Amino acid sequence: MAWYRLAAGEPFGDISFCVEDGKLVEATTAEVAEAEPAPAAWHQALRDHLQGVRPFPLEMDLSAVPPFHRAVMQAAMEIPCGETRTYGQLAARAGRPGAARAAGSAMARNPFVLLVPCHRVVPASGGIGNYGAGEGSRMKARLLAWEKEVTLGVD
């Protein structure tokens, strides 16, 4: 198992990636002391992944993720860059209509921050809701604003 740290800059911040047997097992904004610098190409790869241009170059190992959480993560990855969905919509897409809270719990436990774009999931009551990575809801707001800018050309 090896940790890599990517200084991804705004709006992403720094991201630590854990790789085992050639697969990604975790991506987090938490600082990992033993992390080596990530390959420079991962910076553009992260941007490309979020914009839907191409998948991130490492496959995510989902073997430890419970089935419903996996379905929720897959549904989140289908949300286009620059768009949002509610937790209820995400739950329905994952096959469990009415399970908005369970979908929220799945997103809160997302082991692949940014790669599984949980920042695109918002509460039905309005606002952007919580975000467990980086600076919390401020980071979520920056990510959503960046995605709006790159997809719509809006400042």
Active-site amino acid positions: 118
Q: Name the token pair of 119.
A: 């920042």
3-state secondary structure 67-118: HHHHHHHHHHHCCCCCCCEEHHHHHHHCCCCCCHHHHHHHHHCCCEECCECH
Q: How many other β-carbons are positioned within 10 Å of the β-carbon of residue 149? A: 13
